[in-house]
Chains A and B, each alone.
Chain A
Amino acid sequence: MRTFWDFTKADVQMVLRNRQALFWTFFFPVLLMGLMGVVFGQESAFTASLGIVDEDGGPAARQVIDVFRHVPAVKVAVGTDESQMLSDLKDGRHAAVLVLPKGLESQVGHGSLSLPYFYDNSSLIQASGVNNVVQQVLTEMSYRATHTQPVFTLRMQGVTAKGFNYIDFLVPGVVAMALMTSGIYGVSGTFVEYRQRGVLRRLKATPMPLSSFIGARVLVSLITALIQAGLVIAVGVFLFHVHIMGGMAALNVVLLALLGASSFITIGFFVAAISKNVESAAALGQVIGTPMMFLSGIFFPMDSAPAWIQPVVRAMPLKYLADALRAVIINGHGLWFVRWDVVILAVVAGVFLVASVRFFRWE
């Protein structure tokens, strides 16, 4: 046990002294999140410009415009020239354009009315945000017009106030990403290097069981994972005012971070076991890590991605970690709510643990 702690201490020293790796491990996720947050998210809620073409000019149209003016998530620009509005949309001045056609006034109350609506699909986040807002507002107005229950008003307020805050979406994603990268790259790189340079063989010549050495390494990786998660969340809360839900969230985040880190550490060990040298380990790590980073809904929701890619998305272990962290951190759900994500991550950890042991080599 003493040996285990001595090696743990040595590993901690090595992590702290390797300044470059330290930067990538701890500050890069924070930096990345800051960058993404500043570029794509506003400090408070998401706002987007909505162009409304008022061809009708009647009181019903004005009422619609008025309602949109009171929605905090959109900034309304009103015009009468549809082609002018659409060219503004193409120039990126508006996120979407809603047309209130001539004769709107006379048609209200006579069955369902379809309104031309254009949005900029080159900006997925904005588009999905604005589309949701417009949809919600129109639904709400329909309910009012037909005098249905006012309960739905409350629901609409809830949706517009939450859910379009990009940073809320981003923080759990970056936590998941950081756990993945340090798990896969950190472990596979060092371990292959130890094998390639004969360190493992030299350790084999001592009476110490290898489990002490690997155990120390894993413990340090797990501690690193928790610090990474804590750092990203802290920056999210203090700099970007991320709303963390529920008091249990902190404990749940710790448990999920440990589980997620374990899954990716075992993947890292697997990569190390089957790679001949540091270069091939790095390449294999990239092959596994890069698609995962972009197809797991870390930076952008994958719901709006094409249908054919959805099976690929569902095959990414990182997606389940990101989903679970999001549910826990932002929505305040308990672990039972994310049980399937937990099960999948545990299965991933188990499978890769067995595979790593099976393919392990001393030299």
Chain B
Amino acid sequence: MRRVSPGACREAGVGLSAGDQVIEVRDLTKRYGELVAVEAITFTVARGEVFGILGPNGAGKTTTLEMVEGLRKPDGGTIAVDGLPVWPDPAPVKRRIGVQLQATALFEYQKLWEIIYVFGSSYGLRRSRNECVALLDRVGLHDKADAYVRELSGGQAQRLSIALALVNDPVVTFLDEPTTGLDPRARRALWDVIREINRTGTTVVLTTHYMEEAERLCERVAVMDLGRIMALDTPRALINRLGAEATITFTLSDPVPLATLCALEGATDCHAAEEEGYTVVATDAQRTVVSLLDMAARDGLTVRNLDVKGADLEDVFLHMTGRKLADDEDGSSAGEGAEAGRARRRRSRFGLGRRRA
């Protein structure tokens, strides 16, 4: 999977110094009554990067984004986009950014290119039909220029709302859970669209609760939970911080005592499950696997269903919060913020189910 580096974007002609920050957020806070949805978060987004905010529903991702977009007034802290303060008057910033909101439906009885046109007009732009179609082409919808919204699939509707987030040639575009509710294939196709947008020089800020999405797409990821940023780094660095633990799972032709497995070279933990076989956690997967195979050969055992899974952002999140990223469905997890309930209500109103990553 190809990842676009910030350097590549600059080479593509953005022509800005490496230290140029397109978004600067300091001590940003939002409260809903007693509940603190976003608590004094600070981060910057570099020009030309794909920046991800990863966290479960209710972590405060959308609230953060909406404050940066000028849609929701913060209770504290400062936000600057492209050097301009967002508050108190967000209008100049709104002109420079592109916004894709969760679950936006659009005008019925308007063709796709006409929707692009009126949204362009709302930025004071007058696009020709050809320019509108060209924008649709960028998100892979050129053959739908004369279609109506109701004729689109879920993935195509998301593409349209991404196209609308590009209508004013924004410096930075915000995508709020762009792939939520899509099937894996449509999700992957959308990743390509997002990469393409970034390649042409637009900074992309996206929220997601799919760790794979953050890992594949983002140069840097802010891990958010309960209104706070728990960690902010490249996906690789976040994973490395865990001590690069890998999980080795397998079955054996004959059972062995658990102590034998725990004695394998480099093994830090081991357990057995009746159906799934054995699990060994190791810091150095290669050494441990070699040691496992040696043991099997010595004792005349056959190793089957061998699987080595490297650590990923899911493990990072689990490690930091003690909770699984995509497993907040029960809603009873401790300290779930006001936004979680709100987000859930909003979601159920639009009839979108939540899907696991």
Does B250 have its Cβ within 8 Å of any Cβ on chain A? no
Stretch at the interface among B100-108, B188-196, B279-287, B294-302: B100-108
Does A17 have its Cβ within 8 Å of any Cβ on chain B? yes
Majority SS of interface residues in chain A?
A: helix
Known: A10-B107, A199-B107. A2 touches B121 (CB 8 A): yes
Does A205 have its Cβ within 8 Å of any Cβ on chain B? yes
B99 touching A202, Cβ below 8 Å: yes
From residue B243, how far is it (CB to closest CB) to chain A in Å? 42
Does B186 have its Cβ within 8 Å of any Cβ on chain A? no
B107 touching A207, Cβ below 8 Å: no
Does A18 have its Cβ within 8 Å of any Cβ on chain B? yes
Bound-state Cα–Cα, A17 to B111, Å = 11
Bound-state Cα–Cα, A147 to B239, Å = 114
Sample of 8 A–B contacts (CB below 8 Å):
A14-B108, A18-B109, A197-B106, A199-B104, A203-B122, A205-B71, A205-B101, A212-B122
Does A201 have its Cβ within 8 Å of any Cβ on chain B? yes
From residue A105, how far is it (CB to closest CB) to chain B in Å? 75
User: Which residues does chain B contribute within 8 Å of A14, judged by CB atoms?
Assistant: 107-110
User: Which residues does chain B contribute within 8 Å of A277, judged by CB atoms?
Assistant: 349
Which single member of B104, B119, B123 contacts A198 (CB below 8 Å)?
A: B104
Chain A interface size range? 20 to 34
Does B339 have its Cβ within 8 Å of any Cβ on chain A? no
Does B114 have its Cβ within 8 Å of any Cβ on chain A? yes
Bound-state Cα–Cα, A212 to B117, Å = 16
From residue A4, how far is it (CB to closest CB) to chain B in Å? 9
Does B35 have its Cβ within 8 Å of any Cβ on chain A? no
User: Which residues does chain A contribute within 8 Å of B92, judged by CB atoms?
Assistant: 207
User: Which residues does chain A contribute within 8 Å of B70, judged by CB atoms?
Assistant: 205
Bound-state Cα–Cα, A255 to B110, Å = 32
Bound-state Cα–Cα, A196 to B109, Å = 17
Bound-state Cα–Cα, A205 to B99, Å = 7
Known: A201-B101, A202-B104. A13 touches B110 (CB 8 A): yes
A202 touching B349, Cβ below 8 Å: no
Known: A13-B114, A196-B349, A205-B94. A3 touches B109 (CB 8 A): no
B 43-72 to A, binary, CB cutoff 8 A, 1 in contact else 0: 000000000000000000000000001110
User: Which residues does chain B contribute within 8 Å of A201, judged by CB atoms?
Assistant: 71, 101, 104
User: Which residues does chain B contribute within 8 Å of A212, judged by CB atoms?
Assistant: 122
Does A312 have its Cβ within 8 Å of any Cβ on chain B? no
Number of B positions contacting A (CB below 8 A): 31
Which single member of A3, A13, A198 contacts B122 (CB below 8 Å)?
A: A3
From residue B65, how far is it (CB to closest CB) to chain A in Å? 11
Which single member of A197, A205, A206, A207 contacts B105 (CB below 8 Å)?
A: A197
Does B340 have its Cβ within 8 Å of any Cβ on chain A? no
B91 touching A207, Cβ below 8 Å: yes
Does A6 have its Cβ within 8 Å of any Cβ on chain B? yes
B120's nearest neighbour on chain A, judged by CB, is A6
Does B112 have its Cβ within 8 Å of any Cβ on chain A? no
B104 touching A197, Cβ below 8 Å: yes
From residue A27, how far is it (CB to closest CB) to chain B in Å? 18
Which single member of A6, A18, A202 contacts B164 (CB below 8 Å)?
A: A202
A207 touching B104, Cβ below 8 Å: no
**Which 4 A-B pairs give the minimum distances between C-beta atoms?**
A197-B105, A208-B122, A6-B121, A205-B99
From residue A182, how far is it (CB to closest CB) to chain B in Å? 17
User: Which residues does chain A contribute within 8 Å of B104, judged by CB atoms?
Assistant: 197-199, 201-202
Bound-state Cα–Cα, A204 to B102, Å = 14
From residue B189, how far is it (CB to closest CB) to chain A in Å? 23
Does A7 have its Cβ within 8 Å of any Cβ on chain B? yes
| Beyond known contacts A6-B118, A18-B108, A204-B71: 9 more, CB 8 A cutoff | A2-B121, A2-B126, A6-B121, A7-B122, A197-B104, A197-B105, A206-B94, A206-B123, A207-B124
